[in-house]
Amino acid sequence: MESLHALRHRYGLLPLQTRFALHIILLVAVLFALLIPAVLLIQESAILGTARENGLRLVTIFAFSSVPALVADDFLGLRQLVNSLGREGDVHYAMLLDLDGRVLIHTRVNETGAKYQDPLTRQALAAPGPLFQETRSPRGEILYDFAAPVLILNQRRAVVRIGISIGDELRLIRRTRNTILSLGVLTLVAGLVWAHLQARRLARPIQALAHGARAVARGDLTHRITLHRQDELGQLAEAFNRMAESLQVRFDVDRELSSTLNLQTVLATLVRHARRLCEVDLAFLAYRERDAARASVAACAGASGTAIHNWIIQAGLGRAGWVLQEGRIFAPPLPAPETDPDEARVLAEEGLAALILVPIRLQQHCVGVLGVGLRQVGDFGEGTVETLERLADQAAVALANALAYREIELLNLSLEAKVGDRTRELSEANTALEASHRQLQALDRLKSEFVSSVSHELRTPLTAIRMAVDNLLDGVTGEITPILQRYLTRVKNNTDRLVRLITDLLDLSRIEAGRIELHRTAVPVAEIMQEVVESLRPMAAQKGVELSMVPVGFPLLAFADRDKLQQILINLVENAVKFTASGGRVTLRAYQKAESTKQKAEGGEQRPEGSRQKAEDSETIEPPRLPAAGCLLPSGEKLPSAGCLLPSVVIEVEDTGQGIPPEELRAIFEKFHQVRRDGQGKAQGTGLGLPIAKSLIELHGGQIWVESEVGRGSRFVFTLPADDARPIAELRGEAGRRP
Indicate if the pLDDT at residue 369 is higher than 90: yes
pLDDT band at 127 (very low <50, low <70, confident <90, very high): confident
Check residue 521 and give its pLDDT: 93
pLDDT band at 568 (very low <50, low <70, confident <90, very high): very high
Q: What angle (nearest 5°) sits at the alpha carbon of residue 309, between those of residues 306 and 313?
A: 125
Whole-number Å distance between alpha carbons of 392 and 51: 87
> Would the CATH topology of 17-173 be identical to that of 517-737?
no
Phi-psi region of 610 (alpha: psi -120 to 50; beta: other; left: phi over 0): left
Indicate if the pLDDT at residue 626 is higher than 50: no
Question: pLDDT tens digit string along 585-598?
Answer: 999 999 988 654 44
Whole-number Å distance between alpha carbons of 665 and 682: 18
Phi and psi of 242, rounded to 5°? -65, -40
Cα Rg of the chain, angstroms? 61
| In contact, 695 and 671? CB cutoff 8 Å | no
Indicate if the pLDDT at residue 581 is higher than 70: yes
| In contact, 705 and 666? CB cutoff 8 Å | no
Check residue 289 and give its pLDDT: 78
Arithmetic mean of pLDDT, 289-304: 86
Check residue 735 and give its pLDDT: 44
Measured CA distances, 125 to 108, 122, 154, 224 (Å)? 20, 5, 15, 89
Of 138-152, 353-367, 559-573, 645-659, the range with the highest mean pLDDT is 559-573
pLDDT band at 396 (very low <50, low <70, confident <90, very high): confident
Indicate if the pLDDT at residue 739 is higher than 80: no
Q: Give which of 80, 314, 35, 54 is closest to 169, Cα–Cα.
A: 54
Class of domain 239-408: alpha beta
- Other C-beta atoms closer than 10 Å to the C-beta of 34 total 10
Indicate if the pLDDT at residue 472 is higher than 70: yes
pLDDT band at 620 (very low <50, low <70, confident <90, very high): very low
Selected residue with higher pLDDT from 485 and 720: 720
Indicate if the pLDDT at residue 298 is higher than 70: yes
Arithmetic mean of pLDDT, 253-275: 78
Check residue 14 and give its pLDDT: 64
Query: What is the number of residues in the chain?
Result: 739
pLDDT band at 285 (very low <50, low <70, confident <90, very high): very high
Measured CA distances, 519 to 561, 564, 577, 698 (Å)? 5, 9, 29, 15
| In contact, 642 and 601? CB cutoff 8 Å | yes
Cα atoms in the 13 Å half-sphere on the side-chain side of 103? 21
% of the chain beyond a pLDDT of 70: 80
Arithmetic mean of pLDDT, 117-124: 87
Indicate if the pLDDT at residue 691 is higher than 80: yes
pLDDT band at 702 (very low <50, low <70, confident <90, very high): very high
Q: What is the mean pLDDT of the chain?
A: 78
What is the side-by-side strand order in the sheet with 131-136?
103-106, 91-97, 155-165, 142-152, 131-136
DSSP string, 680-713: -SS--S-S-HHHHHHHHHHHTT-EEEEEEETTTE
- Other C-beta atoms closer than 10 Å to the C-beta of 553 total 8
Arithmetic mean of pLDDT, 711-720: 93
- Amino acid, res. 739: P
Check residue 730 and give its pLDDT: 54
Cα atoms in the 13 Å half-sphere on the side-chain side of 714? 27
Domain boundaries, the chain: 17-173, 239-408, 517-737
Indicate if the pLDDT at residue 229 is higher than 60: yes
* Assigned architecture for domain 517-737: 2-Layer Sandwich (3.30)
Indicate if the pLDDT at residue 418 is higher than 50: yes
Selected residue with higher pLDDT from 363 and 719: 719
Q: What topology does CATH give the domain 17-173?
A: Beta-Lactamase (3.30.450)
